Structure 1
Amino acid sequence: MRYVAVIVILLVLAFVYFIVRSRNRSAANPRVSTSNVIPIDRNHKTKSKSGEQPCSYCKKKNGKLIFYAQDNGTVVGLCKDCRGKAKKRDMLPL
């Protein structure tokens, strides 16, 4: 009977310890979350708002790119100046 009482007391103490620990952790740092969800506002702030993407070859920002599939399956966006390179390599336009 004595052993059962000791085990019950230890379980109650462990339970109280984990509750206090989780409350202290959330109160000390409210921005830290264990969730894998990223707020959509944070994602939109990091992107450029110009709407222009850089060319995959010359890296110049251009408003209009044409996308091609390379031989290995990757996609590249090319400006008007670099389209000749795509035709030389027989890339398929998307």
Structure 2
Amino acid sequence: MADGKDIDSDIQQWQNIMQETYTSLCPFDSTSIDDLRRVTALVRAPWTEGGPIMRRIEEKHVGTYSTRIRLYYPNHDQACPALIYIHGGGYTIFS
């Protein structure tokens, strides 16, 4: 980044908002996993709406594995970059 930081300022702002919202809703160390999942849904709700319209979304499995991939096709035919998001697994919350 131009300012010498390792993270984009927009992403840092988003992280700060998420952290502030989570901490204002419940203490993590004394909240059940089910309640934490409900809190997570509330915190993420504003970020899950809107965005670009997709022409098509496909979900597939990789070979014979249980690994799933989701392909998003935008509402236009021009060439687009690919974003590969790899979820490491092992999460009990926020997945």
Q: Into which bin does the TM-score normalised by the smaller protein fall? A: under 0.3
TM-score of the two chains, using structure 2 as the length reference: 0.25
- The structure number with the bigger radius of gyration is 1
Tell me: higher relative CO, structure 1 or 2? Use CA pairs within 8 A at least 6 residues apart.
2
Q: TM-score, normalised by structure 1?
A: 0.25
More helix by share: 1
